[in-house]
Amino acid sequence: MIDVDHIPPVADDELLARFIVNSNEFRQDGTVRPKLFMPYSLVDLSVNRHRDCTEREIWDVGYSVAETRQRTLYGRADIVASSSRIAPLDVVPDPLLPANPNHAEITRFPPAKEDQQALAVKLAAAASKRLGPPDC
Amino acid sequence: MSTSLPTGFSDAAETLERVWSDEAKRGDETVTFSRQPLCDQLIDVFQQCSQPGWDGAGSDAVERATLEIAWHFLRSLPTAYRTAAISGEPDGHINLEWYVHPRRILTVSINPNGILHWAALIGAEDPRGSCPFYGEAPRTLLYWIGRVCNA
């Protein structure tokens, strides 16, 4: 995990994970639906930075997210930070200390639903296919 | 061919059954098996999303009114376009998605007031908008659904 005393800005080439906790957030072919990247009533979207993380640590965060939301962890989709920085979006560190210094937010979603949808379809198109958790 | 849904479902089934029955009474005898999957999807969405908090704290229930609007909207589409994937959204909307591949997709979000929020990605084109549903499918949406489905 990232050193809690030195949390750097999110570099363009960093990989970010978005955890999948609903079965309707991905399709049978493994591609992810735009709704995975919708902030809805919020203007920020939680992601987790791969930086300085082992694969096990990435999944541990995913399981924690699912447990908090009382959902099933179906996997994750990864996206490169630069692909998330489509105007007006940005990616910024948002460490949840002490447990998760790798937490980040995709910020600046517009409030209008259709504008959020337009960004979400682009994020979904740029994201990886669903990666299943290790015990699946 | 029967125009009734199976009994024994939840309120969602009863709602759709009433809508379905009303249409049959108006002389619409065109209910076919091809629409059943959409009806099933809507019932599933309602069953899964009709309680507040269904998607974690703060998520809104999908209301019966939204279910009915979604059903009427789907019924207003040409048969060839009744191929959407249907799901609930944490803000209580119902989402319809027409998908060919990640860069040929249209997503429509229906709210309880009958407003359709939509966005598409077709190659480099990224149209979006919102419009009210008054019983007929908006021409703009028909155009973009066609662009996605008739690639």
A78-133: per-residue pLDDT in tens? 999 999 999 999 999 999 998 999 999 999 999 999 999 999 999 999 999 999 99
Half-sphere exposure of A118 (CA within 13 A, CB side): 21
Whether A125 and B102 lie within 8 Å, measured CB to CB = yes
Any chain A CB within 8 A of the CB of B120? yes
Residues of B in contact with A64 (CB under 8 A): none
Q: Cβ separation of A117 and B55 shorter than 8 Å?
A: no
Is the Cβ–Cβ distance between A119 and A39 less than 8 Å? no
Model confidence at B21, in pLDDT bands (50, 70, 90)? low
Q: Indicate yes or no: CB of A121 within 8 angstroms of CB of B89.
A: no
**pLDDT digits 0-9 by tens, B92-142:** 999 999 999 999 999 999 999 999 999 999 999 999 999 999 999 999 999
Q: Provide the 10 A C-beta neighbour count for residue A131.
A: 19
Identity at A105, one-letter amino acid code: E
DSSP letter at B18 equals H
Where is pLDDT greater, at B38 or B139? B139
State the pTM of this model: 0.88
Nearest residue on chain A to B118, alpha-carbon basis:
A114
Query: Token pair for residue B45?
Result: 């969405």
Structure tokens at B77: 């589409």
The interface predicted TM-score of the complex, written ipTM, equals 0.91
Q: Which residues of chain A have a CB within 8 Å of the CB of B119? A: 34, 114-115, 117-118, 120-121
Question: What does the alpha-carbon distance between residue A112 and residue B118 come to, in Å, rounded to a whole number?
Answer: 11
pLDDT in tens, A60-77: 999 999 998 888 999 999
Report which residue type is found at B115: I
Is residue A114 left, alpha or beta, with left meaning phi > 0 and alpha meaning psi from -120 to 50? alpha
